[in-house]
Amino acid sequence: MNAEEVLAMNGSDRARDGANGSPEQTITSQVIARVRNIDHRRDDVVTSALHCILDTLGVAIGGVHEPVTRHVRGEALDEGGAPRATLWGTGERVSRPQAALVNGTAAHALDFDDVSALMEGHPSAPLLPALLAVADGAGTSGEELIAAFVAGFETEAMVGRLMSPSHYARGFHATATVGTFGAAAAGAHVLGLDQRAWAHAFGIAGSRAAGLKSMFGTMSKPLQVGMAAENGLRAATLAARGVTAHPDVLGTAQGFRDTQSDAGGTAPAWDWTGLAITDVLFKYHAACYLTHSAIEGGLSMRDAGVTPERIESVEVLVPAGHLRVCDIAEPSTPLEGKFSLRFTTAMALVTGDLSEQAFTPASLADPRVVALRDRVRVSARTDSDSRSSIVRVTCTDGTERVAEVDVNRPTPASQLDRRWEALVAKFHSLVDPVMSADAADRIVSEVAGLATAESVEPLLRALAVNAEDVPGR
């Protein structure tokens, strides 16, 4: 389906039924009206979108060789289908839903992707794969892509805020559940759906959204993010074809909010006037973001000259919710290591290296790291409103060092250029081994010029390489 076909469908008569009433004055319609009319041309908004896009492409291409990505890609290739969208980092062509699934899984396979506090998850991993799959071959411009990306990102923030905090606390994986709505919104934006069709797309997305925190530390965590991308894409394209759903999935009784959170009443649960995308957070350590404050605390100790031989014990105090996410005491796989406050804090103090290449079976078994990991005690902070983590090191001579760090502060405008430089460096560290430095440079250049690009096709071509060059095929 191309953009012209979708616009023709939007202009045609659709079947009407009891669930197809006016979407005006509902929680869902308020979300849709807001995200459809965002000023996506603001410099800070464009800059943040480009940063998110580059980072997501980098972590996805870096995750091409992860076992879960290879398994999902192999499944898609065995299934076959109309070759309409690109698998990043391999150049293989599959169907649009398959591309969203595979690229979405890859984008979260390393758990190295961006973060939104309002969403309580990783916004771009389910969003960008669905968006680029819809845009592939549709004549989408760079500006249109950015507009759709921002709409999807803000949808995730608003729906996430609507469900917070009980949705995540209950055990739902917001990146997968809320992310489905973001993927649907981005697709709906590119396809030019009217407000009624948007509401149906959201209804379809809500009926398909799923994801559990009990999957953390397993292959199913990134898989359910890939499924969110696929489900969001299908929600948009099915709504474009005329499939209907309840027009207020977010606010109705037995709808998404009513069944998957404790939020009561009918009033929207958002109260900010800015845009969430300008507050996006990026990972510079290849582990769960909830470990990052403690990691930074450990790194500061190491930089100050505290060596592992001098450490008697380590106490890490974190917000209570962290213990339900990243408190694997003795990780047995590198993936589990990314969800272990004890292991990552020990790594920070012993080696100072928490890059993707550092999470290996060898590092899990490193006697120095294991010995210190076993001397790390993790517990919850008693002041429930604090977001920071405290690392308290007791040395063998009886002295004590304390560091308190909060990595949840957005990047100020004056530092955005420096952030781009850091993200480009991160991108090359992940993409060069997969596609070569020259190929990585081309992608960086295409992303940097998206705001004025007449088409996203050059970017899509830059994301493709000869599949025979990919190890493990």
Q: Tell me phi and psi for residue 404, to 5 degrees.
A: -120, 125
Output b/e per residue, 330-351; b: 16+ Cβ within 10 A. ebeebbbbbbbbbbbbbbbbbe
Encode pLDDT of 26-68 as tens digits. Answer: 999 999 999 999 989 999 999 999 999 999 999 999 999 999 9
Q: Is the pLDDT of residue 175 over 50?
A: yes
pLDDT of residue 3: 45
Encode pLDDT of 87-99 as tens digits. Answer: 999 999 999 999 9
Q: Characterize the bridge pairing of strands 311-318 and 93-94.
A: unpaired
The CA distance from 69 to 79, in Å, is: 15
High-pLDDT (> 70) share of the chain, %: 91
pLDDT of residue 399: 94
The CA distance from 46 to 377, in Å, is: 42
Q: Is the pLDDT of residue 130 over 80?
A: yes
Q: Is the pLDDT of residue 158 over 90?
A: yes
Q: Is the pLDDT of residue 13 over 70?
A: no
Task: Enter the pTM of the model.
Answer: 0.88
**What mean pLDDT comes out for the span 104-127?**
96
Q: How far is CA 455 from the centre of its chain?
A: 24
Q: Is the pLDDT of residue 297 over 50?
A: yes
Long-range contacts of 73-81 (CB under 8 A, 24+ apart): 73/102, 76/101, 76/102
Encode pLDDT of 244-277 as tens digits. Answer: 999 999 999 999 999 999 865 555 656 667 899 9
The DSSP element (H or E) to which 318 belongs, if any, is: strand 311-318
Q: Residues 354, 348: contact at Cβ < 8 Å?
A: yes
Encode pLDDT of 423-436 as tens digits. Answer: 999 999 999 999 99
pLDDT of residue 25: 83
**Reported confidence tier of residue 470, pLDDT bands at 50, 70, 90:** very low
Q: Work out the number of other CB atoms within 10 angstroms of the CB of residue 147.
A: 23
Encode pLDDT of 386-420 as tens digits. Answer: 889 999 999 999 999 999 999 988 899 999 999 99
The DSSP element (H or E) to which 401 belongs, if any, is: strand 400-405
**What mean pLDDT comes out for the span 121-131?**
98
**Reported confidence tier of residue 168, pLDDT bands at 50, 70, 90:** very high
Q: Which residues are within 8 A (CB) of 43 and not within 5 positions of it... i.e. 6 or more apart?
A: none
Q: Tell me phi and psi for residue 116, to 5 degrees.
A: -125, 120
**Reported confidence tier of residue 136, pLDDT bands at 50, 70, 90:** very high
The CA distance from 149 to 140, in Å, is: 12
**What mean pLDDT comes out for the span 366-375?**
96
Encode pLDDT of 65-82 as tens digits. Answer: 999 999 999 999 999 999
pLDDT of residue 7: 39
Mean of all residue pLDDT scores within the chain: 91
Long-range contacts of 390-393 (CB under 8 A, 24+ apart): 390/297, 390/315, 390/316, 390/317, 390/318, 391/294, 391/297, 391/298, 391/301, 391/314, 391/315, 391/316, 391/345, 392/314, 392/315, 392/316, 392/317, 393/301, 393/306, 393/311, 393/313, 393/314, 393/349
Residue whose pair of structure tokens reads 């390489």 in the numeric block = 465
